[in-house]
Amino acid sequence: MKSSDFIQERAAAKINLALAVGNRREDGYHDIDTVMHSISLSDCVKIRPSHTMEMTVKGAALPAGTKNLAYAAAELFLRETGRAGGVSITLEKHIPVASGLGGGSSDAAAVLRGLNRMTESGLSADRLRQMGALLGSDIPFCVEGGCARCMGRGEEIHPVPFWDHLALVICRPDFPLNTPEAYKEADRRPGRALLHAGRMEEAVRLRDGEYLASSLFNDFESFLFPITPALKETKIYLRRWGCPVLMTGSGSAFFLLAQDMETAGEIAEKIRAERPDWFAQAAQTTGDVSHGAQ
């Protein structure tokens, strides 16, 4: 491959249709039980062969070095496959950062997929997931995306047939949230009831919209709403559009389940007009992302 040729990978965001947070484990992580789905909102990762490690980030003020998960993923892949030299990565951000949409995790997974292709290493998806798990709990899901019930600290993937083309509005208010702090809130609630994502898995398998809407839940809402009034107010505001609304991951983004893409587009436009500092965009659920390379 010439250094002028590049490999391109789509890095799809995810939403958590249901998210139960369990107890803190000895390793400091929390057991979770969640149903995740990939969505059309995506970053774009381009990778070129290079003698040194280089990274450019467009569209967001993010570090372009070892602190960036995509960069760390490239270093890990090259080390694990015994390759000298580096790669040049260009990351075009469209997914809001620190929002529970898994953007950083998906960028890292896209780098692993892209390097596997570029170097013709032929590593299995399982191997890429194992590598991803070394860097972050959501990366294993993002290697193939689609829909899955994820357990353990998030890295145990149980695939569920995806339900694509569900119309969504993705909305992030103008403040980020901190994931480790959000998990700490769980520890301040000893003895709380532990939930599971089994109903949501069933709803997706049955493709039953009403069942899905009634199975939406995210434990982080009950942890964070009492201490972050702006987050609760965001949900109250978003409810006015008459659709089911749920926070994704540890926030601060929410998704609305819209009737169709036209309605989703209209709602997103109205939110942008009323809340110009917020991110609001129509999107839809998508299937396996690992074959969407261009």
Residue ranges binding ligand C5P (CB under 6 A): 29-30, 32, 136-138, 153-154, 179-180, 183
From the list 14, 33, 43, 219, the catalytic residue is 14
Instruction: Please report how close the Cβ of residue 30 comes to ligand C5P at its closest, in angstroms.
Output: 4
Instruction: Please report how close the Cβ of residue 190 comes to ligand C5P at its closest, in angstroms.
Output: 15
208 counts as catalytic: no
258: phi then psi, degrees, rounded to nearest 5: -95, 165
Rounded CA-CA distance 29/3 in Å is 40
Nearer to ligand C5P, 93 or 153 (CB): 153
Nearer to ligand C5P, 139 or 167 (CB): 139
DSSP 149-217: EEETTTTEEEEE------EEEEEE-S----HHHHHHHHHTSTTPPP--SHHHHHHHHHT-HHHHHHH-E
Tokens of 79: 């080390």
Instruction: Please report how close the Cβ of residue 146 comes to ligand C5P at its closest, in angstroms.
Output: 20
Instruction: Please report how close the Cβ of residue 31 comes to ligand C5P at its closest, in angstroms.
Output: 7
From the list 33, 43, 107, 138, the catalytic residue is 138
Rounded CA-CA distance 105/138 in Å is 6
Nearer to ligand C5P, 82 or 180 (CB): 180
Q: Which of 131, 173, 134, 159 is nearest to 36 (CA)?
A: 159
Burial 141-171 (b: 16+ CB within 10 A, else e): bbbbbbbbbbbbbbbbbeebebbbebbbbbb
Nearer to ligand C5P, 7 or 151 (CB): 151
Nearer to ligand C5P, 24 or 232 (CB): 24
CA 271 distance to own-chain centroid:
22
A 10 A CB-CB count for 289 gives 27
Instruction: Please report how close the Cβ of residue 176 comes to ligand C5P at its closest, in angstroms.
Output: 14
Contact status, residue 108 vs residue 73, Cβ threshold 8 Å: yes
Terminal Cα-to-Cα distance of the chain (whole angstroms): 16
Tokens of 145: 């995306």
Rounded CA-CA distance 40/214 in Å is 23
Nearer to ligand C5P, 20 or 268 (CB): 20
Diameter over CA atoms, the chain: 58
Tokens of 91: 């990351």
Tokens of 245: 């609304």
138 counts as catalytic: yes
Q: Which of 280, 262, 260 is nearest to 270 (CA)?
A: 280
Instruction: Please report how close the Cβ of residue 250 comes to ligand C5P at its closest, in angstroms.
Output: 8
Catalytic residues: 14, 138
